Chains A and B, each alone.
Chain A
Amino acid sequence: MRLLNGFTLSAIAGAIWGAIAMLVIGVTLTLITGNVASPQVSMAAIVGGLTGLVAYWFQTPNLSLGQRAAAPLVCLFTLILLTFAHPFTLSLEVSTLWQLGGIAAFVVAVVWSCRATTYGLPRGELTRYEREMLYLRVAKGIGFVVFTIMVALPFYVMVMTSLKSQQSLLANPLDLSIDFAGGFYGLFRSYIELFTLFNFGDYLLTSAIVSVATVCLTLLFSVPGAYAVSRLKFPGRDWFSRSVLLIYMVPAIVLVIPLYAVFSQLGLRNSLVGLLIVYPATTIPVALYMLQGYFKGLPAELEEAGLMDGLSRIGVILKITLPLSLPALASVSLYVFMIAWNEFLFAFMFLDDPEIFTLSRGVVALNSSEVPRQHLMAGAVIATLPVLVIFLWFERFLVQGLTAGSVKG
């Protein structure tokens, strides 16, 4: 029998699941309860290996109840046996419920992933195909765990830190639990202070105004432009439609110094008007590119019919083209809105006056040693929340718009 047969591989896979599950659950427990757990990863690996073997052995579809229960039982008992009932090396007195939940989660996770990895594999010798399938299952499982944690952890920390008080953050940076003891005010204190003492209401309003105005200006400029590029013939059309995206390759930092110098002398620097000149200039090319792609896909016959019936070009655009391209307009608008909302560099360079700060600029102003951490994180949450809500609401539009060939870094 080869060394890498079904038994060894399912044991190894089980060991990996055991170690990962223990690590993840241990860290989660620490973050939720604030009690530092040091999970027994190596023991959990052994437990996982055994569970893997059992799950691999009993996997034909029609199992008796006892056979089905074998894997979870093995998992639970070996875990308790090997770790002397202290899988997280925490005394069972502290946060008992969470610990019990953690153990249950461990058993469920390990058994489920062991079954999923060995599902459909024959006992004993494996072909190359079957082995690779098992490797891929393991790799995918690890991938899901790693990616989810990698993406979610910073956002989780952002939200939880914003709900903490200064003392509890300093006392135990690992304690990211929600403390209901302070009531509503205690929990949302940072937010309340941001809105009352730091003018975040104004920043929010300014950001909204600037972003919406940028969207309107961008559409005003790019709709006729995109229509011209997609429907009208003129010399240099193909060259233009291709090179308009090159504008997007120009780094903003290169534009900052001349714009700063000229806007300072024109008195446009410390003003929202200045921002409203710069933002559309950076978004028009991409909006034009996205829209012309969509316009080209619309049947020209409809517009010709409109022209024959006596509509002017403007009439055709307003009454035929635009109603037909509502999805594209929506995705372009959302996209431009997000760019303007998230913009940092120009807001940072141009705005000095706290009266007209946008959110980005306002949050940067919080990054000083005098402002506590949770205020900074609350500011980050306030800046992120609207854009995430909009994104989740219109995700389909955005994803289509993005992958339709227009992107921004």
Chain B
Amino acid sequence: MSVSAEPSGNGAAMSAPNSAAPPQTTGPMQKREARLAFSMLAPTFLIIFLIVLGPLLANFWISVKPVELGDLRAPTLLVNERVRGKPQAAGDPVTLQYRLRNSSQDYSIFEVSFTDTLPSDFKPTAWPEACSVDGTRLSCTLGDIPGKWRERLDIEGVAGAAFAEYRSQIKDTELVYTGEADNVLTNLDFTLDNFRRIFDADEFWSVLRVSFYYTVFGTAGALVLGLFAAQLLNTSFKGRGFLRGLFLFPYVSPVIAVAFTWLVLLDPFSGTVNALLTKMGVVSEPINFFGQRAIEFSLFGLPLEFPLALSTVIAFEAWRYFPLSFLFILARMQSISSDMYEAAEMDGATPLQQFRWISLPQLLGILSVLFLLRFIWTFNKFDDIFLLTGGNAGTRTLTVDVYEQGFALSNLGAGAAVAVVVFVVLVTFATLFIKFSAKEEGL
């Protein structure tokens, strides 16, 4: 395979008749190699298209559809069978009643029909036009039924000897129903209500602002902490391996474990931190770190607000993700050659000068890559805020809003609309980053 060294895929335009030059077209071997490669990649392509790219596009579709969570269950015909009349002996009149209902309030079911088996010794005498009876077989054709539709079908007849068991007999026999309902996801009802709804809501802009603060400060916090931690562990000493392992704990632990631990730790009533602060007299009242939207204070007479819950959530984000930047920065620092520091030492550069003029420039590349990655991942983050505050107390970011609209308020369409906004913002970020950091070292 590796025998063919010529560049592939240049097309026939380049092919020259001169037989001395290497062939420029794709040869059969390269074609075979490409086919092999594609067949090896095909499963990956397939699953990525189905589970990642497909849903991504489906969001746009769902966002312009009036879909509620309850609509996911396809509308169906609900049937309730019962025996009317009180036959005392064989030959008494009896009515078998079918109560029919469309399970959906809004959506029609088309070409509905059903068949059922009547009790064997029941003699039907009269039945609605929609139905026909053939021996013990009842079949009814109802046509199209709209949402909220209800109907009663009475099959009148004469009871046979086993009338006492009719009740259980008609319930036992399986009713076969056919009908086609529009799938709410695939029909062609479109609406812009979802977008109107999310953009008109007062909180939307505050949600956007909170997302932005969370992303910027969460990213910066994680990077700065990571930089400090890497500085600490860049010298070798006893116990360094232990500390490095310890510092990675927040990152490798499951998010549910650490989020709930923070909740317990900072609980206003039984949390360790609040108990410490109040008992030692630092604060007079326990602080509700995750429940209080803002602390008001004044600086030089200016009334200011400190967004407490949001800051706590940002602190959690920085705490949980500093290990990642710490690892990368440490790896980069250890690859800086010590010659430079020795030379600087000879020239009398102080430690801070060495950091500023040697380490920092060397770290700039990894710092910018980390910033980019962490920025996007922090923006994407859902679990942390959802578990800590559920998006209350002024911490609702766009990603939490997707859940809030789609599942808490049961409006899938609106949720998808927010998801579209998330995606658009993300693509905007990515484009900006690529535009402004084209020269930085890539991944």
Contacts and interface: CB of A to CB of B under 8 A. Distances in A.
Interface in B227-273: 228-229, 231-232, 243, 245-250, 252-258, 260-262, 264-265, 270-272
Interface in A56-80: none
Q: Which one of A144, A172, A176, A233 has the highest number of Cβ atoms from chain B below 10 Å of its Cβ?
A: A233
A122 interface: no
B28 interface: no
Given A234-B34, A409-B374, A391 B327 contact: no
Interface stretch (A7-15, A104-112, A274-282): A274-282
A381 interface: yes
Given A136-B352, A222-B44, A403-B327, A258 B246 contact: no
B399 A27 contact: no
A144 B328 contact: no
B9 interface: yes
A395 interface: yes
B50 interface: yes
B246 A281 contact: no
Interface size grouping (class) on chain A: 35 or more
A302 interface: no
Contacts of B30: 233
B261 A154 contact: yes
Contact of B382 (A221, A252, A260, A307): A252
A232 B39 CA distance: 11
B48 interface: yes
Contacts of A170: 270
B41 A224 contact: yes
B254 A143 contact: no
Contacts of A250: 52, 56, 380
B33 A232 contact: yes
Q: Is the interface of B mostly helix, strand, loop or mixed?
A: helix
B40 A383 contact: no
Interface string A301-324: 000100100000100000000000
Given A151-B246, A265-B74, A157 B59 contact: no
Interface in A238-252: 240, 242, 245, 247, 249-252
Contact of B72 (A133, A140, A265, A282): A265
Given A157-B264, A174-B276, A403-B327, A251 B270 contact: no
A144 B232 contact: yes
B348 interface: yes
Contacts of B1: 232, 307
Contact of A158 (B33, B34, B261): B261
Contacts of B377: 249, 408-409
Interface stretch (B97-105, B123-131, B147-155, B411-419): B411-419
16 contacts: A132-B351, A155-B261, A173-B275, A232-B40, A234-B8, A250-B380, A251-B426, A254-B402, A255-B56, A257-B406, A258-B62, A281-B52, A282-B52, A345-B383, A363-B257, A380-B256
Contact of B243 (A148, A222, A409): A148
A234 B33 contact: yes
A252 B426 CA distance: 13
Contact of A129 (B281, B351, B415): B351
A346 to B, nearest CB: 10
Contact of A387 (B34, B54, B253, B407): B253
B280 interface: yes
Given A253-B403, A349-B407, 8 more contacts: A154-B250, A157-B261, A170-B270, A221-B47, A249-B380, A257-B402, A285-B48, A384-B254
